[in-house]
Chain A
Amino acid sequence: MGDVIAEVRSFLRDNFMLDDAEIRDEDSFMAGHVLDSTGFIELITFVEERFGVEVADDEMLPENFDSLRNIAGYVERKRGAAAA
Chain B
Amino acid sequence: MTTPLGDPYLLHHFFATTAARLPQKTAVVCEGARLTYADLASRAEACASLLAAAGVGRGDRVLLFLDNGPDFLAAMYGALACGAIFVPVNPLTKPDKLAYLLADTRARALLTHSALAPAWRGPVAAAPHLQVCVIAGDPPTAGDSPVRMTRWPAPTMPAGRSDPGTIDRDLAAIVYTSGSTGAPKGVMLSHLNMVTAARAVSGYLGYREDDIVACLLPLAFDYGLYQALMAFKVGATLVLERSFAFPVKVLQTLAAERVTVLPGVPTLFAMLMDMGSLGSHDLSRLRLITNTAAALPVEHIRRLRALFPGATLYSMYGLTECKRVTYLPPEQLDIRPGSVGRGMPNEEVWLVDEAGTRLPPGSTGELVIRGSNVMQGYWEKPEETAQKLRRGADGEVLLHSGDLFRTDAEGWLYFVARKDDIIKSRGEKVSPREVENAVCSHAAVREAAVVGVPDPVLGEAVKAFVVLKEGCAATERELIRHCMAHLESFMAPKHVEIVPELPRSENGKVKKTALG
State the A residues within 8 Å of B (CB). 14-19, 21, 28, 30-33, 35-40, 57-58, 60-62, 65-66
Contact = CB atoms under 8 A, between A and B. Distances in A.
A38 B246 CA distance: 10
Residue of B91, B119, B246, B458 with most partner-chain A CB within 10 A: B246
A20 B326 CA distance: 46
A24 to B, nearest CB: 12
B162 interface: no
Given A19-B485, A40-B245, A61-B249, A32 B477 contact: no
A78 B490 CA distance: 32
A62 B249 contact: yes
Contacts of A28: 115
Contacts of B484: 15-16
A18 B248 contact: no
Nearest to B249: A61
B276 A30 contact: no
B445 to A, nearest CB: 17
A40 B276 CA distance: 18
Nearest to B268: A37
Contacts of B247: 57, 60
A35 to B, nearest CB: 7
A38 B481 contact: no
Nearest to A22: B118
Query: Considering the complex of A and B, which 10 residue pairs feature the smallest CB-CB distances, nearest first?
Result: A57-B277, A31-B115, A37-B245, A40-B245, A36-B489, A37-B244, A18-B485, A58-B248, A57-B275, A60-B248
Contacts of B481: 14-17
Given A38-B489, A57-B276, A32 B118 contact: yes
A71 B92 CA distance: 23
B127 interface: no
Interface string B439-480: 000000000000000000010000000000000000001001
Given A21-B118, A37-B271, A62-B249, 14 more contacts: A15-B477, A16-B484, A17-B481, A19-B485, A30-B243, A33-B115, A33-B116, A39-B245, A57-B247, A57-B248, A57-B276, A61-B246, A61-B248, A66-B246
Size bin of chain B's contact surface: 20 to 34
Contacts of B276: 57
Nearest to B117: A32
Contacts of A14: 477, 481
Tell me the dominant secondary structure on chain A's binding face.
loop
Interface string B473-506: 0000100110011000110000000000000000
A14 B485 CA distance: 12
A33 B485 contact: no
Given A19-B485, A32-B115, A57-B276, A62 B477 contact: no
B258 interface: no
Nearest to A59: B248
A25 B29 CA distance: 29
Contacts of B97: none
B242 interface: yes
B242 A30 contact: yes
A35 B484 CA distance: 10
A58 B477 CA distance: 30
Nearest to B276: A57
29 contacts: A15-B481, A15-B484, A16-B481, A17-B481, A18-B485, A21-B118, A28-B115, A30-B243, A31-B115, A32-B115, A32-B118, A33-B92, A33-B115, A33-B116, A36-B92, A36-B243, A36-B245, A36-B489, A37-B243, A37-B245, A39-B489, A40-B246, A57-B275, A58-B248, A58-B277, A60-B247, A60-B248, A62-B246, A65-B246
Contacts of A31: 67, 115
A32 B489 CA distance: 13
Contacts of B426: 38
Interface string B225-248: 000000000000000001111111
Nearest to B490: A36
B246 A18 contact: no
Contacts of B244: 37
A28 B480 CA distance: 22
Contacts of A66: 246
Interface string B308-323: 0000000000000000
A33 B98 CA distance: 15
Contact of B245 (A15, A21, A30): A30
A65 to B, nearest CB: 8
